[in-house]
Chains A and B, each alone.
Chain A
Amino acid sequence: MIAEAGLAALWLAAAMALLQFVGGLTLLRGGAGQLVPLIKPAAYVQGALCAFAFFALMWLFYVTDLSVLLVASNSHIDKPMIFKLAGTWGNHEGSMLLWVAVLSVSGAAIAFFEKRIDAKTLHATLAVQGFIALGFFAFLLFASNPFERLEPAPLEGAGLNPLLQDVGLAFHPPTLYMGYVGLSIAFSFAVGALLTNQAGPAFARAMRPWVLAAWIFLTIGIAAGSYWAYYELGWGGWWFWDPVENASLMPWLAATALLHSVSVLATRNALRAWTIMLALVAFAMSMAGTFLVRSGILTSVHAFAVDPERGAFILALMLIYTSIAFVIFALRIGAVKQGEPFQLVSREGGIVANNIFLSVILAIVLIGTLYPLAAEAMGDKISVGPPYFNKATVPVMLLLMVALLIGPMLRWRRDALMRIKYWLIGAAAILICGGLAAWKLAPDTRLFPLLGIALSLALAVAAWLPLRGRKLLRTPLPIFGMVIAHFGIAVSVFGMASESGFSKETLTALAPGESAEISGWKVKLDDVKPVVGDNWVAVEGEMVASKNGGTFMLRPQSRQFFKPEMQTSEAALLTRWNGQLYAVIAQPNQEGDGRWQVRLWWKPFVTFIWYGGILIALGGTISLFGRMFRRAKKPAINKWERA
């Protein structure tokens, strides 16, 4: 009954989306527009219906209703409750329903709260949103119905991919999807503004919180996914430049660029066309990413449900949305007036540099990810992997860091480097001293980690400088947000550079009682024991790590799951302030000498990568709250508003 109600809600919601879209069409065609007053109510109803459908599915997972195909094939009566609930979105159908639900609820929120842009642009935006939602409703209802029944109902259910039975990963895909939804809303705003030719600061302010929210979710999602891969894949890597990882990185890069350019548009009324362009690209990238992950056309390390037919559906949606949007862009952008002028040395100039570098990185990642496919079409089989991506993107990232040392210190419109000459000298001094110190500590370090460390040290100082000369209590929250996010970049890059430049590795085979050394740590394998979990068995190594008198237990596991069968390794991580000791127990030696293969790493400051990620997301969140708070206090009136 619940399942049928959920399905009915989806159909009704689809009808509402259609109403929104048709209403918008009549408005733009200059008709009388009897349907126009219905657009907002339709958005409310659509949001409510989709929320209902999603909670209906969650309820079915909560009670493990095995007569529903989706529950039967993704859950199990013996599964822990948290993973039962996570099962709601831990599969293709459920995650698409979550996507649609968040999209529709956001649409309702826009319809209700958005007062900054004029009614026509708002209606156009909601119509575009209805159009996007229609595509996803078609996808849900025709190709991935989450409420399909199963006759007869099975007795226990099939389980869930064991790799996904992990708290971190239960929340990783939905986090990314939230980000993608946010970008789809930015896309709707951009197309709406194009259609009504209102691409000014008001539009930018309306779009900004959604971009910011999307970007926060993407940041968290990528950081969490990276940490998950780090401890789950068992080889100490935290970024593999795998197609699935790239698929999540590309929307983030576009969103980061968009976040900066939209600020310029909101405060300085410049970069109009470019901001619209980025909004379109960011959503196109999130659709392309979803397509790459779901279609499986590229070989990936990360095991996900791959389904070429559904991939084709997502591809079709992506091509429809983006090609229509880019046609509108090409036809209408000429009518968008040039924004306010600015000089090369100015805050705007710094943000343009940021946008160029981010776009170049995005282009490299996109080309590198798709290149093997293109080469295959031409009859060549080649692989593009970490060595290429590192060599091609890291120099641009370092340039981006340099821009970040200077840009936030500059004034809007025009400035002179002479004005900040003391900081420039200071930054150069930190760079040289930091670089020399790192080189002195480890003379055989390669160039990139060295530069990364020097630049992150300089940025760790530079990030705080925008607060100089301000009264802290009266400083707007978004400034704090920016400062913290930029400091987070410094922290994260420091971790990356340190990990890639200074990690130590010991590979060995130990019998119980034997020990190995790594970076001053002595790691002794005490015992190897079997362990039984909910739906797995494992061998667990009991290791004692000791250094300078301190001793710690480490318990890495090699897990064997059933239903479905799979082997994973659970690394044991010992976190110290200055790094992590990473221990893995693998297979027993085949020679039958009683030794187990043990892999140990000392990764200095590796945790900074994710601490930085948290700081970046925190900065974004502070900024978002600041924007919302400020808006509630006083409606922003701006001298360009009537232009």
Chain B
Amino acid sequence: MNRPWLLWIPLAVVAFIGGLAIYGLAVPKDDQVHSAMIGKKLPAFALPAATAGVPALSNTDMADGKPRLLNIFASWCLPCKAEAPHLETLKAAGIEIDAIAIRDKPEDVAAFLAEFGNPFRRIGSDSEMAVQLMLGSSGVPETYVIGGDGTILFQHIGDIRAEHVPMLIEKVNAAR
């Protein structure tokens, strides 16, 4: 063989694959699918009210100059129950929260609000997940920070825990 370096290629390939595998084991896998809509305007939608007594939600409702949170939730989702008190905390901090209820029935939403409180200004009902798809949302619960002009600024995937509350307050205040 007149090109001895060729013989070391297999070893190099093994080293590369090994490095990749070690990286794969060492770095926790990010299974979340992040929305690619960050920095873009909210898509146009108009959802009906999710339950009697709470107004419906459209994209124009969220472009009134005030930044806010948009919470994606469902009465059938367990983590949504867990995050309810933290949403109350956020509301108490003076932050307006709108919500979209996914694949839900009016009576279930009403029961959910009765049990866990209603921190929401408006709740739209997305029974077919169509708006969820438009937002690039991958599940429930999720919380978006929406700028005063209706721009999507930030996406929080999963339930809001106590440690996320100050971060969300800061994001909303930064958008003011």
Which residues of A are in contact with B by a Cβ distance under 8 Å?
277, 280-281, 284, 288, 291, 295, 297-299, 308, 311-312, 315, 318-319, 322-323, 326-327, 329-330, 333-334, 370, 373-374, 376-377, 381
Contact = CB atoms under 8 A, between A and B. Distances in A.
Interface of B: 1, 4, 7-8, 10-11, 14-15, 17-18, 20-25, 27, 29-31, 34
B25 A315 contact: yes
B25 A297 contact: yes
Contacts of B27: 376-377
Given A297-B24, A299-B31, A319 B18 contact: yes
B8 A330 contact: yes
| In the A-B complex, the 5 residue pairs with the closest CB atoms | A297-B24, A330-B7, A326-B11, A326-B10, A319-B18
12 contacts: A288-B17, A297-B25, A308-B25, A315-B25, A323-B14, A323-B18, A326-B14, A330-B4, A330-B10, A334-B7, A370-B17, A374-B20
B7 to A, nearest CB: 4
Contacts of B23: 373, 377
A333 B25 contact: no
A266 to B, nearest CB: 23
A111 B25 CA distance: 38
A377 B20 contact: yes
B26 to A, nearest CB: 9
Contacts of B8: 330
Given A334-B4, A370-B20, A374-B20, A311 B25 contact: yes
Contacts of B29: 297, 299
Contacts of B22: 315
A143 to B, nearest CB: 14
A295 B24 contact: yes
Given A323-B15, A334-B1, A334-B4, A297 B10 contact: no
**Majority secondary structure, A binding face:** helix
A376 B29 CA distance: 9
B105 to A, nearest CB: 11
Contact of A373 (B1, B10, B24, B31): B24
A297 B7 contact: no
Contacts of A319: 14, 18
A322 B23 CA distance: 19
Contacts of A373: 20-21, 23-24
B25 A327 contact: no
B21 A281 contact: no
A133 to B, nearest CB: 21
Contacts of A334: 1, 4, 7
B139 to A, nearest CB: 15
B21 A297 contact: yes
Contacts of B24: 295, 297-298, 373
A277 B10 CA distance: 9
A609 to B, nearest CB: 30
Nearest to B33: A381
Contacts of B7: 329-330, 333-334
Residue from B1, B15, B25 having most chain A Cβ neighbours under 10 A: B25
A311 B20 CA distance: 13
Given A315-B21, A315-B25, A329-B7, 4 more contacts: A318-B18, A329-B10, A374-B20, A377-B20
Contacts of B20: 370, 373-374, 377
A322 B14 contact: yes
A313 B79 CA distance: 35
Residue from B18, B24, B34 having most chain A Cβ neighbours under 10 A: B24
Nearest to A377: B23
Contacts of A281: 10
Nearest to B34: A381
B25 to A, nearest CB: 5
Contacts of B15: 323
Residue from B17, B23, B27, B30 having most chain A Cβ neighbours under 10 A: B17
A280 B10 contact: yes
Residue from A280, A299, A373 having most chain B Cβ neighbours under 10 A: A373
A327 B11 contact: yes
Contacts of A370: 17, 20
Nearest to B15: A323
Contacts of A277: 10
A297 B17 CA distance: 13
Contact of B25 (A295, A330, A376): A295
A311 B24 CA distance: 11
B102 to A, nearest CB: 14
A330 B15 CA distance: 14
Contact of B21 (A291, A327, A330): A291
Given A295-B24, A315-B22, A323 B11 contact: yes
Contacts of A376: 27, 30
B31 A295 contact: no
Nearest to B29: A297
Nearest to B36: A381
Contacts of B17: 288, 370
A308 to B, nearest CB: 6
Contacts of B11: 323, 326-327, 330
Contacts of A330: 4, 7-8, 10-11
A323 B13 CA distance: 10
A241 B7 CA distance: 31
Nearest to A315: B21
A330 B23 CA distance: 26
Contacts of A295: 21, 24-25
Nearest to A318: B18
Contacts of B21: 291, 295, 297, 315, 373
